[in-house]
Each structure stands twice: as C-alpha cells, then as structure tokens.
Structure 1
Amino acid sequence: MPQAKPGGASGAGGVGWLAPLRLKWPRLGLPIKLLMLTAAFVMLAEVLIFVPSIANYRINWLGDRLTAARLAVLAAEALPGGDVPQMLRNDLLRTAEVKAVAVKKDGQRRMVLPPHQAMVVDAVYDLRRTRGMNIFGEFSTRAGLIGDALAVFFAGTRTIRVLGDNGPEPTDFIEIVLSEAPLRDVMVRHGLNILGLSIIISLITAALVYLALSRLLVEPMMRITHSMVHFSQNPEDPARIIAPSDRSDEVGTAERELASMQTQLAQLLLQKNRLAQLGLAVSKISHDLRNMLANAQLISDRLTSIPDPTVQLFAPKLIASLDRAINFCTDSLKFGRAAEAAPRRDLMKLRPLVEEVGDGLGLPREGGITWVVDVNETLRIDADPEHLFRIVSNLVRNALQVIEAQGDSRGGEIRVRGWREGRKVFVEVSDDGPGVPTKARANLFRAFQGSQRKGGTGLGLTIAHELVAVHGGSLQLLETKKGAAFLIELPDRTAL
C-alpha cells in the first residue's frame, strides 16, 4: 500500500507534464509529429525487449550459481568419508558465490556445505523445470519471472534460497542460499549496458524509419498541401496545377485526382469569366436593341391605321412580337444585374399561345413541315404567359432547325400535345427528326455544351429549362424510337 503513493504522484506529474504537449500538439507540423511518434514507439519496443532480457539475465546468473554449487557438491562428495574441512568448505562456497548448499537425492535431503552461521531466508525461488505446462502456464511463469527480476531492484538486500534440478529424477534437486546484493549489482551493470545499446539502436532505427516515412509519405503530403495552398491563391493560373508523380500507390492516386480537380476548377473558372464577359456584352447589345425595337414599335403602331385587310391581319401580331422582344431585352438587362423578376403567373388557355408560337415561326409550311397542335380548347395552364411563350418557342424552334438541317425534301412533323392530370399540366413537344445524339444528352441543359447541331449554342434548351424551374416544374427528354420529345411539367400554384 505505501508504494501506491509514489505511483500516484508520478501519474499526476505525468499528466501535468503532458498538458503543455497536448496544447501544442495540434500546432506541430507533420514532420515533427512523425519524428516524435517514431521515437516514442521505438523506445516502447525497446522497453518491451529490455524487461524480458533482464529477467533472462537473472535466470542465467542464478543458473550459473546452481552449476557452480553442483561442482562444489561433487568435490565435497569425492572426499573420503564425505567430511569437508573448514578451509575447503569456505573455498567452495566462495567459488560458487553462495552461503550454503543442500541436495536431495534418493528421497534424502542433506546439507553438503552448511552456512557459517544461522540465516533468515527472505524469499524462495524454484527454478526447476515444470513438465506438462500449457501455453497459459508458460505465459504466467514468464510474467512471474519478469516480476521477480524487477523486484531485485526495489527489494533491498535480501537473502534468497534457490532450488534447481539435480539429475534426471524430478524428485532430486539442489538448493542454494545466497545474498541478492551481487545479483543486483551485475543486473544494474547489465541493464545500463542494455539501456545504452537500446538507446543507440532506437536512435538509428527511429532515424531510418523517419527518413523512410518522410520520403514515402510526409514529403508527398507536404507537396500536395503546398500545391493546394499555392493553387488557392490564383486558381485561374494553369501553372499552379500540381504535376502528378509516377507513383502507382495511394499517394500517386491522390496527386492525379488533385490535378484532375484543379484542372476542372481552372477550366470552370475560365469559362465563368468568359460567360461573365459574354453577359456584359449581351447586356450592352440588349440595351441598344431595346431602343431600336422601341423605335420599330412606334412605327408599327401606325400600321393599324391602314385600312388594308392584310395589314390589319398581321399588324397586331407584329406589334405583339415587338412588345415581346422589348420585354425580353428588358429582362435580359435585369438578369445581367442579377435582379430577374419572379414569374407573373396567370390561369390562361394553352392552345392560343401554342398557335401563336406556330404563327411566329411560320408553321405549318406547305410541302415541308407539318404543324400539329393537339391541345384541347378548354385546357388552362397556370404560368407566366411571356415565360411559357419563350419555353414553347425555344423547343419548337429547336425542332424546326433540326428538321431543316437534314435537307430532306420530305420535310417532317412537329407536334405539341397538352393535357392535365390533377393539379399539373403536361406539355409535350415532339418531332420526327434524327433525335438527340447520345453525346449531347449528358450536357443537354447546359449553356454552350448541349447543342445538337453545328454552330448552335444550346442556349434555347438552357433558357427553357431555367424558366420551367422557376415555375416549380420540370423539363425532361423522353425516350422515343424516332425523333425527339421534350415533356414540360408545370404544377398549379398552391393558392389556386
């Protein structure tokens, strides 16, 4: 019990000593952490080797004393009558480095070399071989020998009795009595030698392990970290992208994946800058175009006063188209200022709007493209009229351009079909053209990436997709055997 106090104080002191290290540990660099951990684990391994080696050294030293005692017994038994003179007895005990020797043979125990005076034995150790012991018994015995060896350093000066084998018979043994002080002295010297050698081996091993791990892991990780920090300072500079090594392990994979991500990010940022510049140019064009369209609108208003029936038929459509173009330019300018207005939804009939789209695109065309509107006269849809016109117009215009690009004299067909299911309205725009190429499907609704024809920008589908999304709906490409079919799904407002 008294020994528990120093242990407790040591534990508290250890915790107090570790507290500053725990505070500084997160701020230490990876090389310093690796060096400290390597040294600590190598020292731990050396300690695990050092303790059993000390126990083995004790066993060997006591075994030498037993061997010397057996030789002394043989010398004593060789004397006539078995009576050992005092001087010879002292020499035999001094040579064997023991105080007394006794043997048990043929069931009889006798003192061969008695001590000079009576002694008190403090501990008894049995070094005889134990037969038939299982693995758990061996482990327990080894642990006990280690504990006995450590006790030598802390038990003070003791007199011990040691028993060993004395022949093939398990009942025969030899026992010696000796002071533990010489054993402690040689164990201290041996321990210091082992400790010094362990420190040298630990330093060499730790240095080799540190250099190997630093070369294999730490330096590549620091290179990757430096590349990430360097790239983050100017992601648009391709020269800052990490150059992957030829390694085929996990570090090489990380370098290649990082290079791929940095390349993609640099390209995206470059594309966004170009789009920003393009947006600025479009805003300027839209501003000037709006002014020109406003002048054209003022002139077209005068057409309503001409009594010609043809003029009266087309003038309202021309004025509506100009109004729509002016509104579109205004919305483009608002978009450039990131202030696009929310949809102004209204419950309206769908068929007139679809027919207006066809009229604006010159559909149907005699001997060319057939225009089919499969929408019930009473079908009503909850949407922004201008937005819906642009959605349907972009989809129909795309279909028209794809069919015309074929150069087929047989023409084609564009069909618009609409129906209601509960609180949702579905509008399908289909054609019998060549369909959407597989390569274009992955980026179908991305600007400048989803174009189906040479020279196209892909903006029509992008605009339609965005306008449908702001209505809370969806736009998707359907799987068809021939041609292409886009399905618009627009839900009603919750308040309706």
Structure 2
Amino acid sequence: MAKGAIREGLARTGQIVRAGTGSLGGRLLALTIVYVLTASMLIFFPSAANFRNNWLGERANAAHLAAIAAELAEDNLSEEAVRELLDGADAIAVARITGGATELVLGADTGNAPLLDEDQTRRRPLREMAAVINTFTGPEDRLVVLTAIPQTRPDERILVILPEAPLREALIGFSARLFWFALFASLVTGALIYLALLVMFVGPMRQLSLSMTRFQENPSDAGRVLSPSQRHDEIGEAERALAAMQADILAAIRQRERLASLGLAVARINHDLRNVFASAQLVSDRLAASKDERTAAMGQRLVRAIGRGIRLCSDVLDYGRSAETRPELQPVALAPLLDEVAGELVPAGEGVIWENMIAPEIAVMGDRDMLHRLFGNLIRNAITAMKGRDPARLSVSAEVSGDEVHVTLADTGPGIPPAVQARLFEPFSSGGGEGSTGLGLSITRELAGLMEGAITLQSTGPEGTVFVVSLKGAG
C-alpha cells in the first residue's frame, strides 16, 4: 500500500513537472533557474579561494599575536600556556623568519602527517582556485605549512603549521551556504523574470495563439476577430497584422458565400431563361420565315437577340462548371482538331479566310473536349472582332519548344482597347464585341491551366491581335 502510494505520488509529481516545462512560461522559468545556478557555479571557485585565503590569513594573524605574547613572556611560559596559545590560533607550531633565519617561537610535535606548503606572500589566483579542490580531496590528517606576512610587521615573515581539517570543514560550510543562497537567488530571480515575461510577452503571445485557434474553428464568426491592443512594439504589430488578416479572411468568406448564393440563383435563372429562349426561338423562326419583309426583318433581329441570350446563358453555366471538370489528358493532333473547330465556327461565304499552318505530326497532351472549347472561344472571339473587316484572315501556327508546344492564333481585327487589356482574362470583362459576355477568355485561361498550360496575349493593335497558347507536347 505504502509503496503504491509513493509510486503514484512520484508519477503525479512527474506529470506536474512535465506540464509546467511544456509551456513557454515554464521553460523560461526553468532556463532562468539553470542560468543563475550556472553563473553561481562560475563564481564559486573565485569565492571559495577568497574565503580560503581569508581563513588562512586570520589564522596567520592569530599565530602572530600568539608569537608576540610568547616573546613578551620570555621564558615564563609553561607547556600548558604554550598549548593554549597555539590552540587559540588553531596552530601546531609558529616560527618567525627574520633576516633569512627561521626562529621557532611556539612549537609542538607534528608527527609523520603529510605536509602542504602554502605561501601567501605571493598571490596567484589560478593556483589558489586549484588549492580549493586540493583542500576537498586531500588526506584527512594533512597539515598546512603556511607562510604569511604579519599585518603589524610587514618586513617579517611568519611560518605557521596548522591542521587542514578545520579549513576543509569551513570550506564545506561556505559551499553549502553559497549553494543555498544561489538556489534562493535563482528562484527569486527566475520568478521575477518569469512574471515580467509573462506580463510582457508570454501572455500576449498566448492571446494571439488562442485568437488564431478560435478564429480557425469558425472563421465566419465576426466575434472571433482579434481586437488589437495599443502596444507599439513587435507584439502590437503582430496583433494588428493578425486582426487585419482575420478581417480580410472574414470578408473573403462572406464574399464567397454571397457569390455562391448568387451563382446558385444565376444557374437556376439561366435554366429557366434557356427554356424561355427556346420557346421564343420557335416563334422568332416563324416570324423570320414570314413573307412580309418587315415582319421577316424583325424576326431576324429577334433571332439574333435570342441567340445572344442563349449564348450568354451557356457561357455563364460553362464558367460555373469549368473549375469542377477534371481533364483526361491524352495525345491530341492539333491540325485536324483546329480544322474541326474552324469548320463549325468560321462562316462560309462571309469573306473570313482560315489558314491552318500547323504540321500534321504536332500533337499535345490535353483533353479533346477542353481543347475544342478553348480554341473555339478564341476563334469565335476573332471572327466577331473581324466582322466587317477586309481582309478578314485568321491564321494558326504551332512551334515545338522543348517539352512544350506554343500555338499562335493571329487575326486581322481592330485590336483590343487598352482599357480592356488590363482585365482581359478576368470574368465578365468584355472586349466590347456585340453579344460578348466577358467570360470566353476567362474560361479559356482556366481550361489551359487545367491542362497544365497557359494563354498569353502576345500583341494587339490596328493590324490585328495575336494570342499564344502553351500546352504540353505529346512527343
């Protein structure tokens, strides 16, 4: 029972520690404590060396005073008195060095104990820090032979023999006090730095993270958009940037929802309009076939108007479906495909000259239906643009470049107005042609992209317009 409780308690403690260090604030606190303790370790040896020097210096001064007392008493000191003087200085023997001669003032038997020479007349920091380690690791019964300069007589030297054990105990006590002080200082410093970072950085960063998470859960909720603070530092800039990005995403989502609803409504309206146009076309065909010239003329105009309406409905529906179609890429010969498209669209007997200069062996990787629609849009636009022009010539050529085929379509139309060129491939951007919906080139660009190709306007002007369609070659 007891072992199980202890094991459970240790497991819970480990979970708490891991949870605390898992957060950014917990890691900062742990790092601060580690850094302060590391700094304390770096200053330990200089501090311990200084403590050791002071301890030995105090014993040297006490031994010097004992030597002065022995001199004043001359030969009246008993053995017990000598021992008391030495015990007061924690020394075994004291000698004076004057004029190069050593004179024993107080002494006792040192036995066969190992000796350690310690010269404090010359200070050497590195050697003193190494002596700290030597004090901890030396024999228990070792004696220190200390050479020092008395404070009251700087021209003399004093030689003191004292046991190292009291020095070792004093160093251990000093090390323990320094460790607990460093631990306390690291905890206090770490807590203060943690609180400062928590208020200044961790808290705001946590709010940013929570705001992003909440917004991700429901980006269409305006209440989840972050309200930035008035901070002027990097966190304030991040808050304002995040709030602006969330607002843009929210606006885009709402715009997309509106467009989706509008698209659904347009699709339904288009379906109904096509049925209405189909019925109206039957009536207009009968009017156009009337023997009365005025009625027939009005019927022809009505036929053309209804035809434009039907094309508008078809283009809108095609645009709505084009992004959902997945192409089935296969080798397709360009020359016969373009002749087929031109045969359907180029009006016979109306002066439009069709020139197909593509070599029979050139083929591309594409979806045949998509290619038919792509080039059909371009050819239809060119024929509309060249209406009434003389000459009206539409030529097509192809060039193989690496693994791509560049198809060039050139007409002799009046060119595309500069105001339209900037938005040429955008939806509902019309070139101004009669009956134009502004969707043909947008659909064409999407179809080319679905087949890993592209379409560009190479040139346009009074002499005509040139489009280049780049597709993957099949060779």
Q: TM-score, normalised by structure 2?
A: 0.70
In 2, Cα distance between the equivalents of 1:457 and 1:171? 112
Deviation at 1:167, TM superposition (A): 7.5
Contact kept? 2:322, 2:446, Cα under 8 Å = no
Matched, 1:124 2:105: no
**1:223-252, CA deviations, whole angstroms, 9 ceiling, x for partnerless residues?**
111101111121122332222333343323
Larger CA deviation: 318-327 vs 188-197: 318-327
**Aligned pairs (5 A) from 1:208-247:** 208-247=192-231
Deviation at 1:474, TM superposition (A): 1.2
Counterpart residue identity of residue 397, structure 2:
W
State the structure with bigger RCO (CA 8 A, min sep 6), 1 or 2.
2
**Aligned pairs (5 A) from 1:411-426:** 418-422=396-400, 423-426=405-408
SS class of match (1:475): strand
**1:41-83, CA deviations, whole angstroms, 9 ceiling, x for partnerless residues?**
3334344445543332222111111122233334445566x89
Contact kept? 1:415, 1:431, Cα under 8 Å = no
Look up the match of 1:148. Answer: 134
Look up the match of 2:47. Answer: 53
**1:409-446, CA deviations, whole angstroms, 9 ceiling, x for partnerless residues?**
xx9x9996643223431125785565258xx95x7645
Q: Assess, with a 3 A threshold, how the Cα gap between structure 1 residues 190 and 417 changes in structure 2: closer, same or farther.
A: same
Counterpart residue identity of residue 102, structure 1:
A
Contact kept? 1:475, 1:488, Cα under 8 Å = yes
In 1, Cα distance between the equivalents of 2:393 and 2:199? 67
Look up the match of 1:178. Answer: 162
Contact kept? 1:103, 1:111, Cα under 8 Å = yes
In 1, Cα distance between the equivalents of 2:463 and 2:203? 57
Q: How large is the RMSD of aligned CA atoms in angstroms?
A: 5.2
In 1, Cα distance between the equivalents of 2:263 and 2:337? 34
**Aligned pairs (5 A) from 1:264-303:** 264-295=248-279
**1:432-488, CA deviations, whole angstroms, 9 ceiling, x for partnerless residues?**
565258xx95x764547x7899xx996454223112323443122457899996633
Look up the match of 1:6. Answer: none
Look up the match of 1:262. Answer: 246
Q: Which ranges in structure 2 are unaligned for 5 or more consecutive residues?
A: 1-9
Percent identical pairs in the alignment equals: 30
Q: Assess, with a 3 A threshold, how the Cα gap between structure 1 residues 247 and 120 changes in structure 2: closer, same or farther.
A: farther
In 1, Cα distance between the equivalents of 2:464 and 2:97? 107
In 2, Cα distance between the equivalents of 1:486 and 1:298? 38
Look up the match of 2:373. Answer: 386
**Aligned pairs (5 A) from 1:352-371:** none
Larger CA deviation: 470-479 vs 161-170: 161-170
Contact kept? 2:229, 2:239, Cα under 8 Å = yes
Look up the match of 2:63. Answer: 69
Q: Assess, with a 3 A threshold, how the Cα gap between structure 1 residues 244 and 484 changes in structure 2: closer, same or farther.
A: farther
Deviation at 1:213, TM superposition (A): 1.0
Q: Assess, with a 3 A threshold, how the Cα gap between structure 1 residues 126 and 359 changes in structure 2: closer, same or farther.
A: farther
SS class of match (2:227): coil
Contact kept? 2:353, 2:393, Cα under 8 Å = yes
Counterpart residue identity of residue 141, structure 1:
R
Q: Assess, with a 3 A threshold, how the Cα gap between structure 1 residues 233 and 85 changes in structure 2: closer, same or farther.
A: same
In 1, Cα distance between the equivalents of 2:431 and 2:32? 60
Contact kept? 2:94, 2:158, Cα under 8 Å = yes
SS class of match (1:427): strand
Look up the match of 1:89. Answer: 82
Q: Assess, with a 3 A threshold, how the Cα gap between structure 1 residues 482 and 329 changes in structure 2: closer, same or farther.
A: closer
Look up the match of 1:160. Answer: 143
In 2, Cα distance between the equivalents of 1:240 and 1:489? 45
Larger CA deviation: 482-491 vs 220-229: 482-491
**1:248-283, CA deviations, whole angstroms, 9 ceiling, x for partnerless residues?**
433233323322332232222222212211221222
Counterpart residue identity of residue 163, structure 1:
L
Q: Provide the aligned length of Structure 1 versus Structure 2.
A: 436
Matched, 1:36 2:18: no
Deviation at 1:97, TM superposition (A): 1.9
Contact kept? 1:123, 1:159, Cα under 8 Å = yes
In 1, Cα distance between the equivalents of 2:462 and 2:61? 102
Deviation at 1:179, TM superposition (A): 2.7
Contact kept? 1:235, 1:266, Cα under 8 Å = yes
In 1, Cα distance between the equivalents of 2:290 and 2:101? 148
In 2, Cα distance between the equivalents of 1:45 and 1:124? 31
Q: TM-score, normalised by structure 1?
A: 0.68
Counterpart residue identity of residue 409, structure 2:
V
Look up the match of 2:418. Answer: 435
**Aligned pairs (5 A) from 1:90-109:** 90-109=83-102
Matched, 1:204 2:188: yes
